[in-house]
Amino acid sequence: MEIRRITENDIPECVRVIRRSFQTVADEFGFTAEKDPKFTSFATTNEKLERQMHVEKRPMYACFVDGTIAGYYSLRIIGGGIELSNLCALPEYRHRKIGESLMYHSFDRARELGFSEIVIGVVEANERVKHWYESYGFTKSGECGEYDTFHCILMKRSI
């Protein structure tokens, strides 16, 4: 397993990984492209990631397993803070510590950028994911707001 910053050539594969990874959440909660077009599994495109890389200048990383991208995350600097965005692992690579490794990697990168706290947005109804983040020290810190048919909360953690 190797975590490294992605290149522009990695973007199409990262889009596939993000969409497939978040599709399990969409399936669990009945999200569809028609009624929930802003949900990650439907809203992520090559153009969106290219904009995040080149315009927003987001640090973007992938976890490679035997040369295959198995997980992904990016960091978004917003105001005076930093957000962990699109942390994911492909379903067939889950329960292998990829998400945990990417999360701790993101903490290191955020600290290198001068931050002492990180936030992440989570679908409020997704108790399993909220509990997973809580097990790593995240606590609810606010609201992301309403998106189509779901509500999102912010969770934060000192790093």
> Tokens representing 1?
């397993």
- pLDDT digit string, tens, across residues 28-69: 999 999 999 999 999 999 999 999 999 999 999 999 999 999
Listed residue (20, 152, 157) closest to 89, CA to CA:
20
DSSP 6: -
At 124, is the secondary structure helix, strand, or coil?
A: coil
How far is it, in rounded angstroms, from Cα 41 to Cα 63?
A: 19
Instruction: Quote the pLDDT of residue 121.
Output: 93
Which domains, and CATH codes, for the chain?
A: 2-158 (3.40.630.30)
Task: Let me know: does 120 contact 84? Beta carbons within 8 Å.
Answer: yes
**Is 147 in contact with 39 (CB distance < 8 Å)?**
yes
